[in-house]
Structure formats: structure tokens, C-alpha cells
Amino acid sequence: MGRQSSRREFMKNTSAIGAALFVGGAVDLRGQERSANEQLNVANFGVGGKGASDSSNAATFGNVIAICDVDRNTLESKGKSKGFEEAEKFTDYRELMEKYGKKIDIATISTPDHMHGPITLAAMRLGISCYTQKPLTRTIYEARLLATVAEQTGVCTQMGNQGTALDSSREAIAQIQSGVLGTLKEVFAWSNRPVWAQGPGRRMDMAKFAAQAMKDDPENAEKLVAKKKEEIAKALERIDWKAWLGVAPPREFWPGLYHTFQHRGWWDFGTGALGDMACHQLTVPFASCGLRDPISVVAKSTGHDFDSFPASSIIKFEFPETSERPALPFWWYDRKGNKPPMEVFSKHGITNVSDSGVLVVGEKGAFYSSDDYCGVYALKGVDKVKVDYEKAENKGNNDLNNMYELFRAKRAGDPKICKSNFVDRAGPLSETILLGNLAVWAAATGGENGEMGDWGEKVEWDAKGLKVTNLASLKTPRVADLIKPVYAEGHRLD
């Protein structure tokens, strides 16, 4: 089967399943229980970076039959590793699924952010259970859709926020839910990310490079351009750039600018520091404080150009009153050294504030975690109470434990075994977090000399309807583009 024919066939097959879901009713894949001795077949999408460990963790519990990565060097290197020698290699996820879709039990998706949604959707629509890295998706609509498809198909799902599998985080959730802090007042999270490049004016292409070369060194400009073209051509012999772009709008490949590990700083491909780390840091406050369905969000930033994320931002989310708690604000800070005011901590006896962490403030005391995953935490002003919580089954570390939970769920035919499943946790958590990027988008003007600018336009939000209620009054362009993406031809969203 030719390359284009294969893709057309894949789209036809997944569309037929989608029609059953959204027109004829749910296709319930629950009850596909597997015996403890029967190997589950695994496919890995993205096997470099975090995908290196995700794929290896999955290989610990299953039989890897196929791997996919747009970087042929990464792909070939992984294929030589123990447990991957027999796996067939692909650079395009659609070709892998067309050939092996019916044979795959579990897929790991550890690609750049913009490809989480399309690959996971395609897999679930084929009845494949998914382990998808955080952030679950690049946009809010995709997060809602992944949760919907997961529920309708009944496949087992897990997001790669491995702190969910820490006993300390599970205990912390139970402590806060017990009411030990009293009435909840405020939540803070701060991160030392980004550790990748962000900031305006970074985009480069051959036309811009040639103009700069002519300006800086006119005598050698032609040679410099020829050398750069040769460098790019050589790199593209090993990178499937069209597959890397996937659902994103076209742009020129540029060495080191997007691949590898630089995707997160670009609006088309990533979700910034917020998308990267808040999925980890909010595991405890999201579950224990009910941080669902915010009604507004506003931000300030060091400035951006609607192409690259700002170097730093501060975001305020507002959550409405619920039956369990009063209205609650949540504050987010990113970039090392950018933290809440010191008085926020000093009133609770915290003097040496970590570079990343979480603070939940109640009327009686506070919860303080000094790392990204709630591996350690302390209650300030109150004592711990006796609580019950389900401990993770220990397979060596929290990364392995989180992966194993998906395999255990698949074997049992019970999606609820996964604590970070798309329906109950990962989808709603991602929706909350990604809303913050609408506020960052609307706070494009920074201060002088890279300082923080003024507060941008407030985005008022209807979570149920997934829409900005004050969109007509916003002066910031294209805010709605961050809610629901438009996929490039050959990829299926709805």
C-alpha cells in the first residue's frame, strides 16, 4: 500500500469508528479483560526525551511491537535497545496505526505537545488504551474531546503526571480533603521553568538568515547562506519534518529552534511553562481544592509576539464557590526567582522558599510542598490527621508505578483504576491549566528591559460551553484560536 493510500485508509477506518461514537452511540470497549500471564502489545509514539523512559517503562510490562519517532537517529537507536529489537519502526504515526492498530493494546504518546491530541484520539478511536504525556493536549477543546472519547470508547487512559502515583501526593490530597486547613482561602504555585528558550523575536528562516548575513558580512553572505542550506539539508535527511509539524501550520525547519526539546516555547507546538509543570504541581490542589471550571483568568508577562511564549508570566485564576468551599483564587508564577510575595510565606513560618512549589492556604493553616511532584510536603500551623488513601503498587519508582497502573487497568478492564485517567482527572485538569494560556496570550505587552508588564485583558470563561463570554470586547486578536485548533489536512480532530 502506498504512503498516501495508507493514510487515506487510516482516516477512513478511524472516521468509521468515530461515526459510531458520535452518531450511533458509544462503542463500549470495557470488559476486554486480559489474563495476568498474557502479554499486552505496545506501540510507542515518541521514543526520545521523556519518550525514552516512557517507552522503556512500557516495555517493562508489555511487548513492544512498533515504535514511531520523526527523528531517524532516535528511532534507530531505540530500536537497538533491549525489548525493542523486534519492533517495526515508523516516522508517521498514521502509517503505524494503519498497519498495527488492531493488534495494539496500549500506546504511549510522548511527542511534542501539539501532537498529543491527534495521536491519542486516533489510538482511542481504534480501541487502544493510552498513556499520554502531560500536558494532555495543546488546546482546551482537545482536552475535553479526549475525555469524551475515552469515556465513550471505555478504553483505559493515564496522563504522564507521575506524581499522581506518589503515596505522598495521595496522602496530601486526603489531608486537605479532611478539612485540616479549615476553610480554603487561596492557592499558589511557582516554577523554575522555562528551562528552554522563550521570548519574542526568535523565529528564523532562510530569508531572514540571508538578510542578516548580507547586513553583517556582505562579502561572505552567499557562502554563509550556502553553508546553512547544506546544514539544513543534512539534518532533514534524518528528520521527517512534515511528520514533526503534523497538525501544525507549515514553517521552515531550522536547526535547534524546534527540535529537540525546544517545542514547548512556541505557541504552535507547545504550552509554555504553565503547560509543562502545572500538570505536576496542581495534582494535589486540583484534586483536594476542586480547581475545576474557573470563571476568569488574567495575566501579566514579560512580553511575547504571538509566536513564542514570554520569558516569564504571572497568572490569576478565579474559581466560583462550590458546595465544598468558597470562591477561590489560584496564582501561578513561572521563571526561576519569580515567586509570590515573601509575606505570603512568612506568615506561615516559611523562610527558605524552594525554586518550585505549591502553597494551599486555609483559615487554620497551610499546606506547603517544596518540589514539583509533592514528593515532600508539610502542614503549617496544624497537625496531620489520620486519613485513608490508596497507596500505589510499588514497581520501583513513581514513573514505573504510574505506567503500571495503566497496564493493571487494561488487564482488569477497569479504566477507573488509573488515578490520572482522562475522564476524571487529566482532562478537567488540563482544561483548567490551558485556560491560563488564553490570559498569557492576552498579556502580550511586557515592561521595559524584559520586566513584567501590566495586567493584560481579563478573559471571562464559560467552562461548560468552552467559550470566552467577553470575546467580543477583547482587543487581543485570535484568542479563540487557543480553544479549538484547526488540524492540517490528513489529521482528524472531530
pLDDT digits (tens, 9 = 90+) for 147-183: 999 999 999 999 999 999 999 999 999 999 999 999 9
Which residues, other chains included, contact 352 with Cβ-Cβ below 8 Å and sequence gap of 6+?
A: none
What cell numbers appear for 224 in the block?
Answer: 554563509
- Band (pLDDT 50/70/90 cuts) for residue 187 is very high
Q: φ, ψ for residue 314 (rounded to 5)? A: -130, 135
Question: Could you tell me if residue 401 is inside a domain?
Answer: no
pLDDT at 31: 38
Higher pLDDT, 16 or 400: 400
Say yes or no: 182 and 331 in one domain.
yes
Say yes or no: 102 and 171 in one domain.
no
- Band (pLDDT 50/70/90 cuts) for residue 6 is low
- Band (pLDDT 50/70/90 cuts) for residue 38 is confident
Q: Is the pLDDT of residue 374 over 90?
A: yes
Question: Could you tell me if residue 255 is inside a domain?
Answer: no
- Band (pLDDT 50/70/90 cuts) for residue 3 is low
Which residues, other chains included, contact 219 with Cβ-Cβ below 8 Å and sequence gap of 6+?
A: none
pLDDT at 22: 42
Question: Could you tell me if residue 410 is inside a domain?
Answer: no
- Band (pLDDT 50/70/90 cuts) for residue 72 is very high
pLDDT digits (tens, 9 = 90+) for 138-152: 999 999 999 999 999
Say yes or no: 123 and 194 in one domain.
no
- Band (pLDDT 50/70/90 cuts) for residue 25 is very low
pLDDT digits (tens, 9 = 90+) for 44-63: 999 999 999 999 999 999 99
Say yes or no: 87 and 99 in one domain.
yes
Say yes or no: 235 and 303 in one domain.
no
User: Residues 248-277: what's their mean pLDDT?
Assistant: 97
pLDDT at 30: 45
Say yes or no: 367 and 469 in one domain.
yes
| Beta pairing partners, 109 | 45, 132
Say yes or no: 361 and 463 in one domain.
yes
Domain count, the chain: 3
What is the domain range of residue 239? 206-243
Q: Is the pLDDT of residue 198 over 70?
A: yes
Question: Could you tell me if residue 259 is inside a domain?
Answer: no
Q: Which of 354, 277, 361, 344 lies closest to 313 in space, CA to CA?
A: 277
Of all residues in the chain, what percent carry a pLDDT higher than 90?
Answer: 92
Say yes or no: 137 and 10 in one domain.
yes
Say yes or no: 67 and 107 in one domain.
yes
Say yes or no: 124 and 172 in one domain.
no
> Looking at residue 95, which CATH number applies to its domain?
3.40.50.720
pLDDT at 12: 60
Q: Is the pLDDT of residue 412 over 90?
A: yes
pLDDT digits (tens, 9 = 90+) for 270-320: 999 999 999 999 999 999 999 999 999 999 999 999 999 999 999 999 999
Higher pLDDT, 142 or 31: 142
pLDDT at 32: 57
pLDDT at 9: 59
